[in-house]
Chain A
Amino acid sequence: MNTTPTALEPETETLRPTQVVVALVENKPGVLNRVVSLFRRRNFNVDSLTVGRTHKADISRVTIVFDAKQINAQLIIANLQKLVNVIDVRHLSEAPHVSRDLALIKVRTDDTDSRNRLTLICEHYPARIIDIGPFVAILEMAAPTELIEELIDELRQIGIVEMVRTGVVAMGRGIRIHDANLPTIRRSQQFVNGNP
Chain B
Amino acid sequence: MKLTGAEIILESLLREGVDVMFGYPGGAILPTYDAMTKYPQIHHVLVRHEQGASHMADGYARATGKVGVAIATSGPGATNLVTGLATAMMDSSAMVCITGQVPTGAIGSDAFQETDVTGVTLPITKHNYLVADVDEIAMTIKEAFYIARTGRQGPVLVDIPKDVQIAETEFVYPEEEVELPGYHIPSNANRDQMDAAIDLIQNAQRPLILAGHGILASGAMDEIRELVERAQIPVTLTLLGKGSIPENHPLVLGMMGMHGAGACNHAIQEADLLLALGMRFDDRVTGNLKTYSPHSRKIHIDIDPSEINKNVPVDVGIAGDLKTVLRQLLPDVPQKQHPAWMARIREWQEDDDERDILHADTGDKLMSAQVMNDLWKWTEGNAITVTDVGQHQMIEAQYYPHQRPATLITSGGLGTMGFGFPAAIGAKFGRPDEEVWAVVGDGGFQMTMCELATAVQENININIAILNNAFLGMVRQWQEFFYDSRYSATPMVNPDFCKLAAAFNIPSMRITRREQMEESVEFARGIQGPVLLEYVVEKEEIVYPMVPAGGDLHNMLRRPKASEIVS
- Which residues of the partner chain A approach B181 to less than 8 Å between Cβ atoms? 26, 87, 180
Write out, one digit per residue, whether chain B residues 170-187 have a CB within 8 A of any chain A CB (1) or not (0).
000000000011111000
Contacts A25-B182, A87-B181 given; does A82 touch B306 at CB 8 Å: yes
How many positions in chain B have a CB within 8 Å of any CB in the partner chain?
A: 20
Contacts A74-B309, A75-B309, A78-B305 given; does A84 touch B122 at CB 8 Å: no
Residue of B nearest to A31 (CB): B182
Write out, one digit per residue, whether chain B residues 91-120 have a CB within 8 A of any chain A CB (1) or not (0).
000000000000000000000000000110
For chain A residues 79-131, which have a beta carbon within 8 Å of chain B? Answer: 79, 81-88
Q: Size class of A's contact patch? A: 20 to 34
Contacts A84-B182, A84-B183, A180-B181 given; does A78 touch B306 at CB 8 Å: yes
* C-alpha gap A118/B304 in the complex (Å): 53
**In the complex, how many angstroms separate the beta carbon of A26 from the nearest chain B beta carbon?**
7
Q: Does chain B have a CB within 8 A of A188?
A: no
* C-alpha gap A170/B305 in the complex (Å): 25
* C-alpha gap A72/B182 in the complex (Å): 22
- The 9 A-B pairs at the shortest CB distance, nearest first, are namely A78-B306, A78-B305, A87-B182, A84-B127, A79-B306, A87-B181, A86-B182, A41-B123, A84-B183
Contacts A75-B309, A75-B310 given; does A81 touch B123 at CB 8 Å: no
**In the complex, are the beta carbons of A75 and B306 less than 8 A apart?**
yes
**In the complex, are the beta carbons of A33 and B119 less than 8 A apart?**
yes
**In the complex, are the beta carbons of A84 and B123 less than 8 A apart?**
no
For chain B residues 46-68, which have a beta carbon within 8 Å of chain A? Answer: none
Q: Does chain A have a CB within 8 A of B208?
A: no
- Which residues of the partner chain A approach B127 to less than 8 Å between Cβ atoms? 84
Q: Does chain A have a CB within 8 A of B147?
A: yes
Q: Does chain A have a CB within 8 A of B141?
A: no
- Which residues of the partner chain B approach A81 to less than 8 Å between Cβ atoms? 182, 184, 305-306
Q: Does chain A have a CB within 8 A of B308?
A: yes
For chain B residues 482-499, which have a beta carbon within 8 Å of chain A? Answer: none
Q: What total of A-B pairs shows CB separation below 8 Å?
A: 43
**In the complex, how many angstroms separate the beta carbon of B140 from the nearest chain A beta carbon?**
12
- Which residues of the partner chain B approach A75 to less than 8 Å between Cβ atoms? 306, 309-310
Residue of B nearest to A86 (CB): B182
**In the complex, are the beta carbons of A72 and B118 less than 8 A apart?**
no
**In the complex, are the beta carbons of A26 and B182 less than 8 A apart?**
yes
- Which residues of the partner chain A approach B304 to less than 8 Å between Cβ atoms? 78, 82
* C-alpha gap A157/B181 in the complex (Å): 50
For chain B residues 118-174, which have a beta carbon within 8 Å of chain A? Answer: 118-119, 122-123, 126-127, 130, 147
Residue of B nearest to A88 (CB): B182
Q: Does chain B have a CB within 8 A of A156?
A: no
* C-alpha gap A25/B309 in the complex (Å): 25
Write out, one digit per residue, whether chain A residues 29-49 have a CB within 8 A of any chain B CB (1) or not (0).
010011001000100000000
**In the complex, how many angstroms separate the beta carbon of A85 from the nearest chain B beta carbon?**
6
Residue of B nearest to A180 (CB): B181
- Which residues of the partner chain A approach B123 to less than 8 Å between Cβ atoms? 37, 41
**In the complex, how many angstroms separate the beta carbon of B244 from the nearest chain A beta carbon?**
24
**In the complex, are the beta carbons of B122 and A72 less than 8 A apart?**
no
**In the complex, how many angstroms separate the beta carbon of A83 from the nearest chain B beta carbon?**
7
Which of A30, A41, A72, A180 gathers the greatest number of chain B CB atoms within 10 Å? A30
* C-alpha gap A176/B404 in the complex (Å): 50
Write out, one digit per residue, whether chain A residues 58-84 have a CB within 8 A of any chain B CB (1) or not (0).
000000000000001011001101111
**In the complex, how many angstroms separate the beta carbon of B214 from the nearest chain A beta carbon?**
15
- Which residues of the partner chain A approach B319 to less than 8 Å between Cβ atoms? 78
Which of A33, A74, A180 gathers the greatest number of chain B CB atoms within 10 Å? A74
Q: List 29 A-B contacts (CB under 8 A).
A: A26-B181, A30-B118, A33-B119, A34-B122, A37-B122, A37-B123, A41-B123, A72-B309, A74-B309, A75-B309, A78-B304, A78-B305, A78-B306, A78-B319, A79-B306, A81-B184, A81-B305, A81-B306, A82-B304, A82-B305, A82-B306, A83-B182, A84-B126, A84-B127, A84-B183, A86-B182, A87-B181, A87-B182, A180-B181
**In the complex, how many angstroms separate the beta carbon of B152 from the nearest chain A beta carbon?**
8
**In the complex, are the beta carbons of A85 and B308 less than 8 A apart?**
no
* C-alpha gap A86/B308 in the complex (Å): 20
**In the complex, how many angstroms separate the beta carbon of A51 from the nearest chain B beta carbon?**
15
* C-alpha gap A25/B181 in the complex (Å): 10
* C-alpha gap A86/B180 in the complex (Å): 10
* C-alpha gap A75/B308 in the complex (Å): 8
* C-alpha gap A53/B308 in the complex (Å): 32
Other contacts beyond A30-B130, A79-B306, A82-B306: 4, CB < 8 A: A26-B182, A33-B119, A78-B305, A86-B182
**In the complex, how many angstroms separate the beta carbon of B533 from the nearest chain A beta carbon?**
41
Residue of A nearest to B156 (CB): A84
Write out, one digit per residue, whether chain B residues 452-484 have a CB within 8 A of any chain A CB (1) or not (0).
000000000000000000000000000000000
Residue of B nearest to A33 (CB): B122
- Which residues of the partner chain B approach A88 to less than 8 Å between Cβ atoms? 182
**In the complex, how many angstroms separate the beta carbon of A33 from the nearest chain B beta carbon?**
7
- Which residues of the partner chain A approach B122 to less than 8 Å between Cβ atoms? 30, 33-34, 37
**In the complex, how many angstroms separate the beta carbon of B269 from the nearest chain A beta carbon?**
25
- Which residues of the partner chain A approach B308 to less than 8 Å between Cβ atoms? 78
**In the complex, are the beta carbons of B182 and A85 less than 8 A apart?**
yes
* C-alpha gap A71/B186 in the complex (Å): 23
**In the complex, how many angstroms separate the beta carbon of B183 from the nearest chain A beta carbon?**
5
Residue of A nearest to B180 (CB): A84
**In the complex, how many angstroms separate the beta carbon of B316 from the nearest chain A beta carbon?**
15
**In the complex, how many angstroms separate the beta carbon of A20 from the nearest chain B beta carbon?**
19
- Which residues of the partner chain A approach B180 to less than 8 Å between Cβ atoms? 84
* C-alpha gap A25/B184 in the complex (Å): 14
* C-alpha gap A54/B385 in the complex (Å): 53
- Which residues of the partner chain A approach B118 to less than 8 Å between Cβ atoms? 30
**In the complex, how many angstroms separate the beta carbon of B35 from the nearest chain A beta carbon?**
28
Which of B122, B183, B304, B306 gathers the greatest number of chain A CB atoms within 10 Å? B306
- Which residues of the partner chain A approach B130 to less than 8 Å between Cβ atoms? 30
* C-alpha gap A83/B184 in the complex (Å): 10
* C-alpha gap A33/B123 in the complex (Å): 10
For chain B residues 295-316, which have a beta carbon within 8 Å of chain A? Answer: 304-306, 308-310
**In the complex, how many angstroms separate the beta carbon of B510 from the nearest chain A beta carbon?**
45
